[in-house]
Amino acid sequence: MKLHREGYLIILIGFIILGLIELGAYWLYLKTDWLWLFILLSLGVLTMFYLVVQFFRIPKRDYSFEVNDILCPADGKVVVIEEVEETEYFKDRRIQISIFMSPLNVHANYNPISGVVKYVKYHKGLFLVAWHPKSSTDNERTTMVIEHENGSEVLFRQIAGAVARRICYYIQKDQQVKAGEEFGFIKFGSRIDLFLPLNSKINVKIGDIVKAKQTKIGEIL
């Protein structure tokens, strides 16, 4: 396991702030001799630092896929599978699959298919809770589309949640990408939406706990 580069500065700042809190707790202990309070505050500091560090963890994962497989782009829970009108790029009916990422999930994001990037656009927006129905269209988000070698296109969207305030993405239009390669990162609670062709085979159901690069969402037919 390694730490994501997006977390280096936050971890350093967290270490300094929590270190100062720990020093304050020790000073309070020297003044009051309240050992119980010092232990309680120390445990709180250690817990907070652990939570910050684990948020930016990147576990090592082996993965493999067939040419038509749609890989899961993020860790989390499947909260939506439905046929919807996609209004930003396709402007037609698609199968939407939404994956909610809690603050305890790994938050790196990975390409669901291999192909050529046809569209990348960042949108400023609100910070509704990630499971809100309008978060997909009203929240801060980045929309990306990859064209598969068979001509089918998959749209995927990073959506900020109530806690997240920064979406990071690394791919550009016309770039050739491979399924399972990292395309971005969302800091803290958030969501990923996939919009698939209507004839796609779907291998997951609502409520499934999924893992990036290891869960097969479905297939492009």
Q: In the beta sheet, which residues pair with residue 119?
A: 145
Look at residue 141 in the predicted model and tell me its pLDDT: 87
Is residue 188 over pLDDT 80? no
Residues 43 and 75 reside in one and the same domain:
no
Same-domain status, 170 and 73: yes
**CA 147, CA 153: separation in Å to the nearest integer?**
4
Q: What is the pLDDT of residue 109?
A: 95
Does a structural domain hold residue 27? yes
- Mean pLDDT (the chain, rounded): 88
How many separate domains does the chain show? 2
- Which is higher by pLDDT, 188 or 176? 176
Predicted pLDDT at 1: 72
Question: Residue 107 — pLDDT band, cuts 50, 70, 90?
Answer: confident
**Range(s) of the domain holding residue 12:** 2-58
Are 122 and 202 found together in one domain?
yes
Domain for residue 64, yes or no?
no
Q: How confident is the model at residue 69 (pLDDT cuts 50, 70, 90)?
A: very high
pLDDT digits (tens, 9 = 90+) for 123-167: 886 655 555 555 565 678 899 999 999 999 999 999 886 555 578
Q: Could you tell me if 102 and 196 lie in one domain?
A: yes
Are residues 185 and 168 in contact, defined by beta-carbon separation less than 8 angstroms?
yes
3-class DSSP assignment, residue 145? strand
The answer on 139 and 74 residing in a single domain is yes
Q: Tokens for 143?
A: 């929309």
E-state strands within the chain = 2-3, 57-58, 69-71, 76-86, 92-101, 108-110, 115-123, 141-147, 153-160, 167-169, 176-177, 182-186, 190-196, 201-202, 209-210, 216-219
Most confident of 53-57, 58-62, 144-148: 144-148
Instruction: With CA atoms as reference, report the closest residue to 192 among 23, 74, 70, 85.
Output: 74
Q: Which of 135, 136, 152, 190 is catalytic?
A: 190
**Looking at residue 214, which CATH number applies to its domain?**
2.70.70.10
Residues 17 and 77 in one domain: no
Residues 35 and 91 in one domain: no
DSSP, collapsed to helix, strand or coil, labels residue 6 as: helix
pLDDT at 61: 87
When comparing pLDDT for 61 and 153, which is higher? 153
Look up residue 53 and give its two tokens.
């560090």
Let me know if 190 is a catalytic residue: yes
DSSP H helices, the chain, are 8-32, 35-55, 135-138
CA atoms within 13 A on the CB side of 120: 13
